[in-house]
Structures are given as structure tokens and as C-alpha cells.
Structure 1
Amino acid sequence: MAGLEQTPSSVNAASGYAHPELLVETDWVAEHLDDPSIRLIEADEDVLLYEIGHIPGSVKLDWHVDVQDKLARDFVNQQEFEALLSRWGISNDTTIVFYGDKNNWYACYSFWLFSMYGHAKMRIMNGGRTKWEAEKRPLTKVVPQITPTTYHAQPADESLRAYREDVLAGLKNPGRRLIDVRSPQEFTGELLHMVNYPQEGAQRGGHIPGAKSIPWGTAANTDGTFKSAEELRQLYGDKDITPDKEVVTYCRIGERSAHTWFVLTKLLGYPRVRNYDGSWTEWGNLVRSPIEK
């Protein structure tokens, strides 16, 4: 393999993205299904999709099980992360390609988490499951047989993550921008929790004071691919979300906002973006937390 950066099917520099090498197209993935240096990871919002059919050779990342702490509301620690990747046959030199349903919502969430633990070689399959299925590419129910490895992660990079104290302290910072990536109904407080996720509910509806409403899905085309760099710059620039600002994204538990984090940091090259994964499930339940409607 000559390397991802040299492949003609990757999104090339003409796209205008800051890091076009972090996206690969479906045809490139189809050509590299048997490449031992690559591990495909499917991360879906609908955790049953993998069993219905997945890209040959891919493994399933179940966000409810694989990367959640079993007791606290937090992610797995460094040792547990190492054990997970070792079980999936991933080494530090493996190129991971994430894909999933719903505009790669959970695929980008996974990219964000794996970035915190320092995995260097990662890509998103542009368009995710939606595009792969629309092109009638092969799916299988066969779970790959994998030889375990010994993976070594870095300590979690906390600079990618915002906590409630950070958000609260930044409310009076004129250089800080908050992006609420939820639906308009969640932003206004009309909707307390999404229908399928009552466990993500909050006692209060609304949004964090000063937050800009930019729903995460507006960054994607109807086929699940990311919008062009020009369209994305206009989408965020029109709301005064510019590269010179410090930016914090949030949703309900941080998964949709990780999609926006990926767009801002990897596609547009914003240097200071953090994902507040406590998000509204935490903020809307905090005693005396300031809220706007």
C-alpha cells in the first residue's frame, strides 16, 4: 500500500478542506477491503445495523457498551481503551476508517474519542452507510476473525474536551463561542428529550446563554457526505463562528456535537474547538445553571 495520502480516491486538496486526507471515499474503501494495514470500524446510532449487514471486515463499536465506563458517566480509561483496540487487532500503525449511519454522527464521535487517546492514523468514510448502501456495495453478516494485538494509547488529551466548569467560566468571555447543535425545538426548550432517548432528558429545557443554534445535520448533504468547505465556512461564519474564536460545541451527551467538532477542526481547520460532552443532559439538570429560552 502506497499510503492514504497518495491515494487518488481520497478527497483531494481541491476540496478546500483544511485536512482533506482525513476523508476517504466509498470507492477507495471498496478497493482496500483486504488491506491488512486498515481496520474498518462501524459506529452507528442504531446499534442493530451491524448485525443486519456491515462492510466486509469491519468491526462493531457499540457506544452503549464498548467505550463507556461501567459505573461513572465517563469514557473507558486508557487501559480499557488499549484492551479494546488490542481485541480488534489494531496496532499503533493501523489506519482506522470510521463509518456509520446518519451522516457519520457516531463515526465522528468515535474519531473524537480516539483522538483524545492519541491514535494518529484515522479517517472518516465520506457519506457513511447511507452512501455505501445507495451505491449497492457489498454488505455481510460475517463477523471477521481477528488476531489480537498489543495496543499502546497515550494518556487522554483533555484539551479536546470541555467540562461544565469550563463552560460556566467562559460565559463572560467575549472571545468564546458556544454552538448548540441540537434541533431548533431542543434549543428553544420546546422539546425536553428526543423521543427515542428519554434517558438523555433534563429537568429544564432551553439552551446555554449566548449559544448559537447551528444544528449538526446542516453540515451534511442529503447523501450523507460533508458539505463543501465554502458552504461550511458560510454556515458557521454567518453565526460569527470564526477561526479566531475559542469554540465549544454541545448537544445532549456530546455525540452530535462531536460531528460539529470534526467539521470545525478537521475540515475547516479551526485551532481552538472543544466538545462539551456533558452537554444538555448535564447542564439542564444542574442546580442554578443559567438557561435561556
Structure 2
Amino acid sequence: MKAIASKALYSFLCFLLTSCAALHAAAGPLASVEWLQKNLGREDVLVIDTSAGRVYAAKHVPGAVNVDIMGVGLFHKASNADVEKRFQAWGIEPGRKVVIYDEGASWTATWLYSELHYYGFPAADISVLDGGLAKWEASGGAVTKEPTPRKPGTFRISTTRDDERTNLSEFLVASGDRANYVLVDALETPYYYGGAKFFDRGGHVPGSVSMAVSDFFNEDKTFKSPAEIRKMAAYQGIGADKQVLSHCGGGGAATVPFFALKFLADHPKAKIYKGSQKEWLEDERGLPFWTYAAPGLSRDGSWVSAWGTGRLMRALGMNKVSLVDVRPAAAFQQNHVPFSVSVPAEIFRAHVNDPAKLAEVLASAGVNPSHEVVIISKGGLNEDSALAFVMLEKLGQAKVSLLKDSVDEWGMRGFTLTKQETIVGAPKSPQDFAVAPTTYPVALRSGVMVKDTRAKGEYPKVYVASGKNAPAKSPDGKTVHVPAASLVNADGSPKAAGDIWSILAKAGVPKYAEVVVFSDDPADAAVNYYVMKLMGFPDVKVLAAS
């Protein structure tokens, strides 16, 4: 009899151990629908629906309690005591597995996950239902309208994980320190480019990259794989050494990149900036807000006058700007910006396939490869200035930008024009405009102009036909048609960033891709190359003629 009792006890213990093992086997950050179907109804599993109350009332997973995230607020100024009371009221308690869901491909579930983790609840006991309610229903999961009464929990806050949060002070420093930080903007892409806005200004915090909430999900609303998320991060320049600061409009959507990078892709350094754009834009200092990802690729007259034509800065050796005028030589002789040198566009065009010869010309003109070159043309972005931009990038110029104004507009704005030639060498008098002699070594930058596109990158190639008409023959692969002229205003200024994004998205240019621009006229491809760089596409190339 004792043997039978002992065997029964042993079997019962094995059952408990097996049951607990099954529960904790899924104790990762994501719980699958299959796992929840097997474990739904257990006393040690708490299912939380983070939908709005009316959505929960219409349908929800049986047994799920409702926590209306938008109704309770985002805890920005709540005390630990208040947060603890809320957690307890929702049924949070030690030893209980918490599974959180939203409608799928949203941010309210990851927000609650990040809050629980920040306030010390064990990561092993929190999961987000992968795919949310949408995936649950698509997989045959039952739903109900019956509300689930809450059973108070006993969780106490004893610690907070402050290394998962940042503040405005660090965020402001990070905006200017791209060597060590990456600011991740979680808002949808049109917001990033200013095509939509929550506040008085549309756009993004300077230096941030766009990784929108929707970027992290598959079509069935499940999260992308850890490998895919790591690939996305690498595309945006997020290495393991970079501190990620995730933000959005008000601190909610920011939790999706944070959750995906930290808990799914195992990125070692990630924080949430809860103040996000709201706090940034409310700051009384009037902090800058960009629409283009790289507005420094375009310079206005005031900037060039201060940094490029100041005699005192040049005399003190503080000048780091070279001014290159690509207008015809006759136009340059008529009048030009002081200290600019003439390298007509026809020279750039003639040496598209002979960069070594072009480097010789630039050296003789006194163009310093370690400077920022500002290209002066008939005005802003055009075929001549864009081709010069691409060729200088190909040669390895430290930085290249375009003067927004034409030379005539420069003069009309009250800036100095001169007919006096710029001397390459020592000035003969204090009134001379002179630039220091220099050498221009050929240090070709890879991935600017390519002839062979057979090599496979991390993302598929997308060929962007850039001429006026769609090409009769295209490279093998996905090809879309975006005429260069469609991205530029009549005055030579690029169209608004939000409008450019709409044009690119409508044409079928994906956010994550190896973009290869091409055209029968390399200048048209060069215009689109410049615009893509202005918009922050990390991987853009010009397909050179064979």
C-alpha cells in the first residue's frame, strides 16, 4: 500500500514539475498563440488586454483582464507608490506569469511590458502575445464579450531599472554624438519627414534614424525574427557598441524598438526616452527639429558667408571650407563668390570614368580633400551640381554640400561678389583672395558609383530609373521609375521631405533596400542620388555606364 502511495505521489510530483516546466519553457519575451491556447485558464497565468475599454468590451481573449493603457496614462509623473497600486489592482503578483496583448502590431503591449520590467518584475515572468488579438483570432482562438473580474495582486516595487531610461540632458548630448549613440524614432515614416505631425512642428530630432513601429512586424502582425531585427539595426548603423535611445511623440511607441532590440535581438545597450518629442519641442531653448535626414548637405548664403568667405578665419587657419563653382568659365569670370575656384561641370562630366585625372584638376584648383566642399552652381540642386556632388563623394571628399542660392541670388541677398581670380598659393597683397596649395590623392570611396551590381547585399537591390521617361531596358531586378525632376522644385530646391517620401513610397521604393539609381544621363541619376542621401537612405549607389 505504501509503495502504491509513494508511486502515486511520485507521479503527481512529476506532473507538477512537467507542468511547471511547460509553463516556464515559454518564459521568453514572446508567447506564441499556441502556448497561450495550452496555458489559458491557469491560475498562475494572468492575461492582460491593453486595448481601449470599448474594444475590450466588443471582444477579447477569454479570461483576459482589461488595462486600458490610454485611459490610465503613461506614468510620466506617477510615484512608485501609485504605480504599485495600479499593478496590484491589475492582478500583478510574484510567481504569476503575465501575458500581455494588444490588437497586434501596436505598442500598448510592449509599453506595459517595459513598465513591468522597469519596476522590477522579472523578465522571465512577462511575455507579449506574438501577433496580438489578430493572430489569436486568425489561429482559431476563441473570443468573448464577458468581462473578467480582476483579482488583486501583491507585487511590491523594491527596485527600478534606471539603466533602461534616459532624460533630456543625455538625449541632447546624444543628438550630437553619433559615434556613441543612435536615436531611434519609432513614429511612422511620414511623421519622421514632416508629412504628418502631432505638435506645432513636424519632423524629427536631429541625428535620429527612422525605425517605425510597423517596421518591426510581419504581415500577420507577429514580430520579425531576431535575425531580421538585427539586420534592420545594422542597416541603420546600430552596432553592438552603440547606445540606443528610443523615442517617439510621447513615450509609448518608443517601447516597440526598445523591446525588439533589447529583448528579441539582444542589443546590449537600449533605453527609452519617455519625454520624447513632446519634451524636446516644449523646451524653452527652441531645440531644432529637422524634416530632411541630412539637411547639412545643403547650405544657405549666411552659412557660406560666415564659414567660407571670412578673411579672418582664413588668416587664422581656421577655414575648413572649399568653394567650387561649377558654372561655365565665362560665367565665373563675370562674377563669383569670393575664395571660390572654377571647376566647370563639363570637367566633372568628362572625367566620370577617370577619377585620377579629375583629382589632378581639383588639386591644381586648390580643393582640399579634408574640407567640406560647397558646390556653387546656377542654383541649388540641378544636373551640374548633382554630378559634381557624386564625383566628389566618389573621390573621397570629406564632406560635400550644395549652395542653395544661385550666384545672382547670392548677390541680391547682399553678399559680396567679385571678379577677382582666386589665387592658389600665397596672396600677393592683403586684398587678394587666395587658397592654400594642396594635394588630392585618389582615395576612391566604395559604393558610390558601381558598374557591377551582381554582388548581393543584406537587402535586395531596387533600381531607380531616374530619367524623364521609363527606360526601355532595365537591370535585372526590381525597377521603379522616379524621374529626377519630380523630386526638385523649379527654383532648384528639393521638394519638401514629406512630399519626397510620398513620391518614393508610391513608386515602390522600400525603406530597407540597396538603392541603385541609374539613367542614360548620369546627371539625372546623380540628382536622385543626392535626394536619397538628403533623405537619409544608408545604402545608395549610382549605376555607372558600362
- The answer on 1:25 being equivalent to 2:32 is yes
Q: Alignment partner for residue 2 of structure 1, among 20, 25, 45?
A: 20
Residue of structure 2 in register with 1:236 after alignment: 233
Q: Is the 8 A contact 2:67 2:90 kept in 1?
A: no
Amino acid at match of 1:64: M
Residue of structure 1 in register with 2:399 after alignment: none
Residue of structure 2 in register with 1:216 after alignment: 213
Residue of structure 1 in register with 2:82 after alignment: 80
Q: Is the 8 A contact 2:211 2:257 kept in 1?
A: no
Distance 1:191 1:68, change over 3 A: closer
Structure 1 unmatched runs, 5+: 11-19, 194-201
Q: 1:152 & 1:179 partners in 2: Cα distance?
A: 32
Aligned length: 269
Q: Is the 8 A contact 1:101 1:128 kept in 2?
A: yes
- The answer on 1:97 being equivalent to 2:99 is yes
Residue 65 of structure 1, CA deviation? 3.1
Residue 75 of structure 1, CA deviation? 4.7
- The answer on 1:189 being equivalent to 2:194 is yes
Residue of structure 2 in register with 1:179 after alignment: 184
Q: Is the 8 A contact 1:67 1:81 kept in 2?
A: no
Instruction: Single out whichever of 58-67 and 272-281 deviates more from structure 2.
Output: 58-67
- Listed one character per residue, the Cα deviations across residues 167-205 of structure 1 (whole Å, up to 9, x for unaligned) are 112223221111112122211122122xxxxxxxx2222
Q: Is the 8 A contact 1:184 1:213 kept in 2?
A: yes
Amino acid at match of 2:242: K
Distance 1:222 1:103, change over 3 A: same
> After superposition, where does 1:126-141 map in structure 2 within 5 Å?
126-141=130-145
Structure 2 unmatched runs, 5+: 1-18, 292-546
Instruction: Single out whichever of 203-212 and 143-152 deviates more from structure 2.
Output: 143-152
Residue of structure 1 in register with 2:68 after alignment: 62
- Listed one character per residue, the Cα deviations across residues 118-173 of structure 1 (whole Å, up to 9, x for unaligned) are 11110111111110121231111222234323321234332212221221122232
Q: 2:146 & 2:115 partners in 1: Cα distance?
A: 27
Residue of structure 2 in register with 1:198 after alignment: none
Residue of structure 2 in register with 1:142 after alignment: 146
> After superposition, where does 1:101-116 map in structure 2 within 5 Å?
101-116=103-118
- The answer on 1:203 being equivalent to 2:200 is yes
Residue of structure 1 in register with 2:381 after alignment: none
Q: Alignment partner for residue 41 of structure 2, among 34, 48, 62?
A: 34
Q: 1:220 & 1:166 partners in 2: Cα distance?
A: 29
Residue of structure 1 in register with 2:468 after alignment: none
State the superposition RMSD in angstroms.
Answer: 1.9
Give the 3-state SS of the residue equivalent to 2:250 in structure 1. coil
Q: 2:150 & 2:107 partners in 1: Cα distance?
A: 26
Residue of structure 1 in register with 2:59 after alignment: 53
The TM-score with structure 1 as length reference comes to: 0.85
Higher relative CO (Cα under 8 Å, sequence separation at least 6) belongs to 1
Residue 5 of structure 1, CA deviation? 6.4
Q: 2:252 & 2:95 partners in 1: Cα distance?
A: 26
> After superposition, where does 1:259-274 map in structure 2 within 5 Å?
259-274=256-271
Q: 2:203 & 2:153 partners in 1: Cα distance?
A: 46
Distance 1:4 1:122, change over 3 A: farther
Q: 1:158 & 1:272 partners in 2: Cα distance?
A: 13
Q: 2:148 & 2:221 partners in 1: Cα distance?
A: 26
Amino acid at match of 2:263: K
Structure 1 runs (4+) deviating above 6 angstroms are: none
Residue 47 of structure 1, CA deviation? 4.4
Give the 3-state SS of the residue equivalent to 1:64 in structure 2. helix
Instruction: Single out whichever of 48-57 and 152-161 deviates more from structure 2.
Output: 152-161
Q: 1:67 & 1:154 partners in 2: Cα distance?
A: 22
Q: Is the 8 A contact 1:203 1:285 kept in 2?
A: no
Q: 1:285 & 1:267 partners in 2: Cα distance?
A: 33
% identical equivalent positions = 25
Give the 3-state SS of the residue equivalent to 1:169 in structure 2. helix
Q: 2:247 & 2:128 partners in 1: Cα distance?
A: 21
Q: 1:68 & 1:233 partners in 2: Cα distance?
A: 28
Residue 223 of structure 1, CA deviation? 0.7
Residue of structure 1 in register with 2:289 after alignment: 291
Q: 2:50 & 2:58 partners in 1: Cα distance?
A: 14
Amino acid at match of 1:183: E
Residue 29 of structure 1, CA deviation? 0.5
Amino acid at match of 1:38: V
Amino acid at match of 2:287: S
Q: 2:239 & 2:233 partners in 1: Cα distance?
A: 7
Amino acid at match of 2:68: D
Residue of structure 2 in register with 1:17 after alignment: none
